Amino acid sequence: MNFQQSLTQNQFTITTEIGPPKGTDTSEMLAQASKIKDRVHAMNVTDNQSSIMRLGSLAACHLLKEQGIDPIYQLTCRDRNRLALQSDLLSASALGLRNVLALTGDHPQVGDHPQAKPVFDVDSTQLLQIIGRLNEGRDLSTQFMNKPLTEGTALKGKTDLFPGAVVCPEANPIKPQLLRFSKKVVAGAKFFQTQAIYDFEKFENFMKYARDLGAKILAGILLLRSAGMARYLNKNVPGIMVPDHLIKEMESSAHPLETGIKIAARQISQLKGICNGVHIMAIGLEDKVLDILDEAGI
């Protein structure tokens, strides 16, 4: 059962993510992916994550697909104008890729090429609209994005993409986030992966809102490696707040990574029945996804 089928059939869906290499040697990426491919429904392939230059997500997705893995093609607006975005989406479809996660992208200044010129011709909501238009068989040429789908040039073969987006249910304030979320639903997002979830009361309140809009939600599970990592997240990553009791649990552990695995597994168990699945972010420790799933009994 592939990713789209799992979600549409209301299965508890598991995704994770894998980062392409900074270079052309894909052996480690493929080896890691091979270890976990039978335990997850799909794998996100990051697109120059944190504005650090790596092998392209499109090529990496194609390689994963050849290995029998259902990839989720992450596509950011940071590096491409609408011409390039449409071309890459057509290329993805031609290669048999279906799942696309639309992202605005981090500014280049935070990455390893801070002198790079940002594009941001469109944002992630508009990118979802672009995907919808390509799925209808027309491009954006000679018309504005708020015009009817009947405008634009007809394609010789339309796409059949399954678009998704991201949301941060623990954002403070939450109202602007909910507004962006609802706009993405209207723009055509079929699934959402969230920022790391720690406040389950807030998340359940968000899920009530999401269910009313008919959105499929995969809650973010971030593998904590240490108490120091948790404090760094709290200080530097908007929308993430690791609670004090989890930081203390990590501090008191002789084996903090093992404790982080147990915390992640516990969170997955708590989320069953609340949302449509989970998105596990191990950030360079992809082999630990298996340990998390084993601990969670999945």
Which sequence spans correspond to the domains of the chain? 3-296
- Looking at domain 3-296, its CATH class is alpha beta
3-state secondary structure (DSSP) of residue 87: helix
For residue range 262-274, what is the model confidence (pLDDT) as tens digits?
999 999 999 998 9
Q: Which residue has the higher pLDDT, 141 or 72?
A: 72
Please give the Cα distance from 99 to 211 (Å, whole number). 21
Average pLDDT over residues 114-133: 94
Binning pLDDT at 50, 70 and 90, where does residue 283 land? confident
Look at residue 165 in the predicted model and tell me its pLDDT.
Answer: 98
Angle formed by the axes of helices 200-213 and 256-271, nearest 10°: 40
Look at residue 145 in the predicted model and tell me its pLDDT.
Answer: 54
Percent of the chain with pLDDT over 90: 81
Tokens of 13: 């869906």
pTM over 0.85: yes
Q: Which residues contact 24 (CB under 8 A, 6 or more apart)?
A: 55
Please give the Cα distance from 69 to 229 (Å, whole number). 30
What residue has token string 């706009």?
183
Spell out the SS3 assignment of 105-130. CCCHHHCCCCCCCCCCCCCHHHHHHH
pLDDT higher than threshold 80 for residue 147: no
Average pLDDT over residues 138-164: 80
Which amino acid is it at 226?
S
pLDDT higher than threshold 90 for residue 57: yes
Task: Please state whether beta strands 162-167 and 71-76 pair in parallel, antiparallel, or not at all (unpaired).
Answer: unpaired
3-state secondary structure (DSSP) of residue 132: helix
Spell out the SS3 assignment of 69-80. CCEEEEEECCCC
For residue range 202-220, what is the model confidence (pLDDT) as tens digits?
999 999 999 999 989 999 9
Q: Which residues contact 193 (CB under 8 A, 6 or more apart)?
A: 15, 44, 101, 164, 166, 167, 218, 220, 279
Look at residue 58 in the predicted model and tell me its pLDDT.
Answer: 97
For residue range 28-51, what is the model confidence (pLDDT) as tens digits?
999 999 999 999 999 999 998 888
Look at residue 287 in the predicted model and tell me its pLDDT.
Answer: 87
